Each structure stands twice: as C-alpha cells, then as structure tokens.
Amino acid sequence: MKHKKCCKSCERGLSLHLTNDILCKYHGVVTPDYVCFRYKESTILTASKDVSLKCIHCENFIVHIDSPNENVGRCKLFSERHFDGTNRNPCSKFSKKILIS
C-alpha cells in the first residue's frame, strides 16, 4: 500500500492531537498535508503492524502510581481497570509517547 508523501507520514513529525497539526523538527508546527524537501518516510506507519510497540508506548496510557510494577496503568480512552501495558498491543488510536528528557 502506497502512502501519500506528507508530514503526517514523516519520521521527523510528531502529531499534536489538540489541533491535529504536526510538529516538525525543522519547520515547527505545520499542517498534516504539508511536505518539505527533508521528508523521510516513517518506518512505523501503523502501530498494529509493529510488534515491538505496546500500550505502554502510547501517550494515552496512564501509569498507576501506587503499583509496585511501573508498567501497570490504564488507557485514558478505553479502560478504567488497570493492566500491564507491556503485554497488550496498541489499538487504532495509538499515538507514540513523546519522551522529554
């Protein structure tokens, strides 16, 4: 399946769910259909096809603070019960967690 060449499918862009825009490493906030000469196709186009990604890598996964296991939490979109985020594959609403160091 051929994907459209745009910032939405670029490796250097991060999705901003509040406005549906893309945060580009080089151009700042751009529209999802924008494309520049630095476009690089993402190797992770769909989360369901990548077996290494799990619920714990999603920004919608909330870690339970009182749990002795740091991988236990819940999905803020779908679940009220706690589960181990390293065991479940991500859903269609998966959005990669932005790591701030």
40 with 55, same domain: the answer is no
Q: Does 83 score more than 80 pLDDT?
A: yes
Give tens-digit pLDDT for 17-75: 778 888 888 888 888 888 888 888 776 544 434 457 888 888 888 888 887 788 899 88
pLDDT at 3: 61
Residue range of the domain that includes 36: 1-45
Closest among 43, 15, 9, 11 to 29, alpha carbons compared: 15
Confidence (pLDDT) at 7: 75
Give the other-Cβ count within 10 Å of 39's Cβ.
17
pTM: 0.48
Q: How many domains does the chain have?
A: 2
Q: Is residue 38 located within the same domain as residue 13?
A: yes
Q: Which segment of 8-17, 52-61, 75-84 scores lowest on mean pLDDT?
A: 8-17
